[in-house]
Structure 1
Amino acid sequence: MCDTCGCSDSAVRITDRTHTVVLEQDILAKNDELASHNRTHLSSSGVFAINLMSSPGAGKTTLLERTIGFSDTPCAVIEGDQETLLDAERIKATGAPVVQINTGAGCHLDASMVHRALHSLSLTQGSTLFIENVGNLVCPALFDLGEAARVVILSVTEGPGKPVKYPHMFAATDLVLLNKIDLLPYVDFDVAEFERDVRRVNRSAAVLRISATRGDGMAEWRDWLRRPDRS
């Protein structure tokens, strides 16, 4: 029995679960509507938007710094973090336009946040917009931002099993970047097993092995960015 109102614990759980599901559906429906608006706006402007997702420390910002340096198209970045301007300052130093979104206690970006950020960016025709999501392998997978493609980065220092532990994230992506392969001699990470796990949840996603610091795989990443279908 609940000490507060006398109802059964099971009734509390069922009621809370029902309210949670309805609320989640409502939030996602509103988000998807605005994401569709973002996608139409970006497409009509000739901008290819990529939702870049990972856990904290996987190397998203380092990858962006290197990518902006070799890109043959204009790049812009929307930076998502709970606090600070640290990553935005790093991107700003490359010369690329950047807008920082601080989510506070929020663990992901949503379409409304991106919509507001787009009004602060001057995006040129044919440019690539990278949306660096908040470091998290759960919530970002649920929220469409209006992107044209999704890319998930995982570093070899995070250990094995992530695709099957976080299947929604890996099932929703178009490309998986396995980063920090320069550290493979020093960590216990089975690349073949990782790629098999990716295939278990997503048969169509490509997997590229990269080192954003050393430069391994950057040519293949650049080629993927140049492909019209990015698949």
Structure 2
Amino acid sequence: MCATCGCDTGATITMHEHSHQHDHSDHHLHEHSHKKVVDVEQDILHGNNLLAERNRGYFDAKNILALNLVSSPGSGKTSLLEKTLTDLKGQLNFAVIEGDQQTTNDADRIHATGTKVVQINTGKGCHLDAHMVLHAVQGMKPVQDSVLFIENVGNLVCPAMFDLGEKERVVIISVTEGDDKPLKYPDMFHSSTLCIINKTDLLPYVPFDIEKVKANAKKINPALEIIELSCTSGEGLTTWYNWLKLKAAAAMPA
């Protein structure tokens, strides 16, 4: 049980279970379990960060640009990945780690582009962690001088806390969501390096203020880069591709 959010990540830690039981017959036990959760949370994040550094060292040694793609469900992460992998095929070497609670649907879509892909099903877990990524990378063995996309579970809360060893964290928001998302989920936007505003072709049909969302995002993270695009119309994709190529080139040896 994950002590940071209560999701079941398959870990053997069980102390957090008591904090969600509603047996008020032993109020002392209920309070005591909360004190244990704090310690467990610290241990989990510390252990995760150590593994994240191990992942980062591996990526750096092999000149792999690792990107952690994060968003709410339905933002268009997988569609953007499909479009990117198809349009840049032959220009960059790609590999993908797909994170979902259940099914291999997204991994099947990525596999159809001809890209090496590994699926991680988290079950009741609501985020990927560095340990999951480590095992996925050990199995897939991404090639030297490549780009690794890690598509995280759709969630703007818990993934913000878990460093996977990535070089860049890319948060994706669609115009079908609220323009106050950066203010509601500040940790995710603060920890990201790029924000992609997706589905801009729908702007005429939704009450979404794109200048407001950009201002809100910059309020949380002044250094955050922002790209507006649409996978449907193709608008802004060149800007995204150029950003990606620039970051990939920086990760490669001179």
Counterpart code for 1:134:
V
- Kindly indicate whether the alpha-carbon contact (under 8 Å) linking 1:153 and 1:176 is maintained by their aligned counterparts in 2: yes
Q: 1:95 maps to what in 2?
A: 114
| Match in the other structure for 1:63 | 80
Deviations 1:16-54 (Å, cap 9, x if unpaired)? 433222111100000000110011011101110000000
1:18 to 21, 32, 35: 35
Tell me the amino acid that sits aligned with residue 80 of structure 1.
G
Which one of 53, 60, 64 corresponds to residue 36 of structure 1? 53
Matching residue within 202, 211, 219 for 2:221: 202
Per-residue Cα deviation, 1:189-226 (whole angstroms, up to 9, x for no partner): 00111001001110001111011222111110011112
Residues 77, 99 of structure 1: 8 Å contact kept: yes
Residue 177 (1) aligns with residue 179 (2): no
Q: Which runs of 5+ in 2 are unaligned?
A: 1-22
**Structure 1 vs Structure 2: percent identity of aligned residues?**
49
| Matches of 2:125 and 2:176, distance apart in 1 | 25
- Number of the residue aligned with 2:3: none
Alignment of 1:71-110 (within 5 A): 71=88, 72-110=91-129
Name the residue aligned to 1:50: 67
Unaligned runs of 5+ in 1: none
Using the TM superposition, give the Cα deviation of residue 125 of structure 1 relative to its aligned residue in structure 2, in angstroms.
1.7
Aligned-partner Cα distance in 1 for 2:112–2:215: 38
Q: Comparing 121-130 with 107-116, which one deviates more in the overlay?
A: 121-130
Matched residue, 1:5 = 26
Q: Distance in 1 between matches of 2:244 and 2:238?
A: 10
Please say if 1:123 is aligned against 2:142.
Answer: yes
Tell me how far 1:6 sits from its aligned partner.
Answer: 5.9
Q: Aligned letter for 1:38?
A: N
Question: What are the within-5 Å matches in structure 2 for residues 116-195 of structure 1?
Answer: 116-195=135-214
What is the TM-score when the length of structure 2 is the normalising length?
Answer: 0.85
Runs of 4+ in 1 over 3 A off after TM superposition: none
Paired AA for residue 51 in structure 1: N
Aligned-partner Cα distance in 2 for 1:18–1:179: 41
Match of 1:120, SS state, is helix
User: Does the Cα contact within 8 Å between 1:62 and 1:213 map onto a contact in 2?
Assistant: no
| TM-score for both structures, normalised by structure 1 | 0.93
Whole-Å separation in 2 of the counterparts to 1:173 and 1:221: 15
Structure 2 letter corresponding to 1:208: I
Tell me the number of residue pairs that the alignment of Structure 1 and Structure 2 aligns.
225
Query: Does the residue aligned with 2:70 lie in a helix, a strand or coil?
Result: strand
CA distance in 2, matches of 1:5, 1:137: 34
